[in-house]
């Protein structure tokens, strides 16, 4: 079971990394540099979670570590 969870986390990290790369690549052609110079900062001082590094990216994570379900919010430079 732990091996399945580890594979799922790696797939999730790959997806988040790939989608971030694609979004930033497209955005660099259409947005000004100011949009990319001021990214949001994950902050663990408010809320119930903490900031973890997943796939080389900072992610705000909350909830029980053994939970089988997740809600994933991914935003691009447009805020969508």
Name 51's bridge partners.
60
For residue 27, what pLDDT is reported? 47
Strands (E), the chain: 50-54, 57-61
For residue 21, what pLDDT is reported? 56
Name 61's bridge partners.
50
Query: Rounded to whole angstroms, how far apart are CA atoms 75 and 33?
Result: 18
The two tokens of residue 8 are 């799922």
Within 13 A of 10's CA, how many CA atoms are on the CB side?
A: 6
Enumerate the domain spans of the chain.
2-61
**Which H or E run includes 33?**
helix 33-37
> Mean pLDDT by 10-residue block, N- to C-terminus, for the chain (80 residues)?
57 61 53 65 70 83 84 70
């Amino acid at each position: 079971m732990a091996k399945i969870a580890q594979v799922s986390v790696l797939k999730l990290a790959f997806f988040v990394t790939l989608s971030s790369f694609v979004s930033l690549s497209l955005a660099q052609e259409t947005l000004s540099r100011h949009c990319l110079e001021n990214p949001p900062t994950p902050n663990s001082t408010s809320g119930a979670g903490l900031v973890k590094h997943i796939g080389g990216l900072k992610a705000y994570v909350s909830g029980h570590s053994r939970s089988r379900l997740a809600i994933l919010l991914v935003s691009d430079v447009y805020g969508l």
